[in-house]
Amino acid sequence: MDDDIFDSQPLENDLLIDAFQDRKVVKDPKILTKSRFLNGLQCPKLLWTCCNTPETIPPSSARIQQIFYTGHRVGEMATRRFPGGHHVQEDDFQRNIEETRVLLSAKDPRPIYEAGIKAGRLYARADILAPSKTTVGAWDVIEVKCSTSVKDVYLQDIAFQRYCYEQAGVKVGRCFLMHINNQYVRHGAIDVEEFFTLEDVTVEIAPFFQRMLEWTAGLLKIIDLVDCPKVGIREHCGKPYDCQMKPLCWAFLPESNVLELSGRKSKSFDLIDQGILRLRDIPDDFKLTDKQTIQRQCAISGQPYLDKDEIKAFLKTLRYPLWHMDFETIFEAIPRFDGIRPYQQVPFQFSIHLERELGATPEHFEFLHKDATDPRPAFLKALRKCLGAEGTILAYKRSFENGRIKELGEAFPEHSSWCKDVILRTEDLFVPFQKFFYYHPSQHGSASLKKVLPALVGKGYEGMTIADGGQATTEYARVTYGEGIDPADRAKVYADLEAYCGLDTRAMVDVLEKLNKQVN
């Protein structure tokens, strides 16, 4: 799988879920909700647009419904850590607030799920408010996240909630972040005590809480501006998450622009601040790394860069028969099968193109698990049957495939020796492009297979119904584990998955062939 979609996803998912819930419930554009508050901390332009012209924000990705479904399931599971509570109305803004107010004053206080509290123009909805066990008459705030660790943006979120509740006259005791424990391994029914990690963050939110009066006052002023504030593009466009406004805010950038420079982007933004947008316009005396120098030279010449000696050295590490290998996986917050951790990559599909010798016609082998059972045993059996004992196994970003092989060896010890051998035999086709032994200006700074293939071979993934790993994961889970799926829909998705995964390994064959021709 040649897609960098894993590292930030739980964080982005949490923020998408919160923003969606706020938009669904809070129709008043002048109210500062917690998702709008976080938007404002990231970018004043984003906040103003969310409140004043939300229709101009590009839509979220196609996987959003799966994200909301996951968030709902995790939220429901979290209430089991605080049982016996009341679930207030979520979709009606006024009822949400009124039901919460009544429950907060009840003689027999119990946990409240989705408690909505408004203080002036501030509004926050707690995942769980629980009667404090340490402070009489107080309520503990429990914020639930799909992520697996504490992050500053979560602390800011909780600090805003505390401020809002206290402004409304609610006595707050302790504040907690409840996130997923990524070391939990499922065995039987989910054990919610082990699945979640409950962290007291009362002290950690203090620095953010102290700035709440300043922050909220400033953000409310931004909401009330007649015109959208002018904000230049910078690192904040991707921190703490990739902003939905990027397609609009970055639209002024020309092709082959300085943001394509390899490495950290601060240098690129500095160039933009100086009015230098195109790679070819970077001054001769501007300090660049070796890779960045290659990119600038290619942008000026329009021709690719080629280090024949390094490519030849790489090609000499390959031994035929050559097995081009690619996996597709599911990675779910709530592990579906025994022996699996949250967000563990579970392989359900592979494609292999075999070249028995240099120049031989490639042979294709594939596997796709097509029922709702744990795919790993059948996947491993099919892979062992397919892979021969001799020759190099070639992957693109081999750490991904090797990681799955390592996990399979640990889950099924009887195969551990074979798995170790596979890992030792695996080489990485990513290396020549990652290290800039070859670089084409049409790669636009990326060494992903989806950029390298058209740059080097002249063909790509156009016309594919499933065209990236995230879509493959989402669609596989939908038709394999979903209820009421039309058999024709399922069959089409499976055919599309086979076409997509097969193209990945065929692309590797074609890329390697072109590399050989470039240097021989």
Q: What is the pTM of this model?
A: 0.91
Buried b (16+ CB within 10 A) or exposed e, 117-127: bbbeebbbbbb
For residue 294, the model assigns a pLDDT of 98
Tell me how far the alpha carbon of residue 91 is from its chain's centroid: 27
C-alpha closest to that of 461 among 414, 502, 409? 502
Look at the alpha carbons of 163, 164, 167, 172 in this order and tell me if their dihedral is positive or negative: negative
Instruction: Give the single-character DSSP code of 281.
Output: G
SS3 52: helix
Q: What is the pLDDT of residues 438-450, one digit of tens each?
A: 999 999 999 999 9
Q: What is the pLDDT of residues 170-182, one digit of tens each?
A: 999 999 999 999 9
For residue 89, the model assigns a pLDDT of 83
For residue 99, the model assigns a pLDDT of 95
Quick one: the chain helix, strand, coil %, rounded to 5? 45, 15, 40
Inter-residue contact 44 to 230 (CB < 8 Å): no
Gap between the Cα atoms of 62 and 66, Å rounded: 9
Establish whether the linkage from the previous residue to 58 is cis, with ω within 30° of 0.
no
Whether 11 shows a pLDDT value over 70: the answer reads: no
Query: H helices within 225-278, ranges in order?
Result: 246-249, 266-273
Span 16-20, mean pLDDT? 58
Gap between the Cα atoms of 442 and 440, Å rounded: 5
Gap between the Cα atoms of 51 and 57, Å rounded: 11
**What number of CA atoms fall less than 13 Å from residue 315's CA on the CB side?**
20
C-alpha closest to that of 82 among 142, 137, 149, 147? 142
DSSP string over 70-130:
HHHHHHHHHHTTS-S-EE--SS-HHHHHHHHHHHHT-SS---EEEEEEEETTEEEEEEEEE
pLDDT averaged over every residue in the chain: 93
Gap between the Cα atoms of 509 and 323, Å rounded: 9
Q: Which residue has the higher pLDDT, 91 or 288?
A: 288
**Could you give all domains of the chain from N- to C-terminal order, each with its CATH number?**
9-224 (3.90.320), 253-299 (no CATH), 311-519 (3.30.420.10)
Residue with tokens 């196609």: 62
Strand 346-355 to 172-180 pairing: unpaired
- pLDDT band at 4; cut points 50, 70, 90: very low
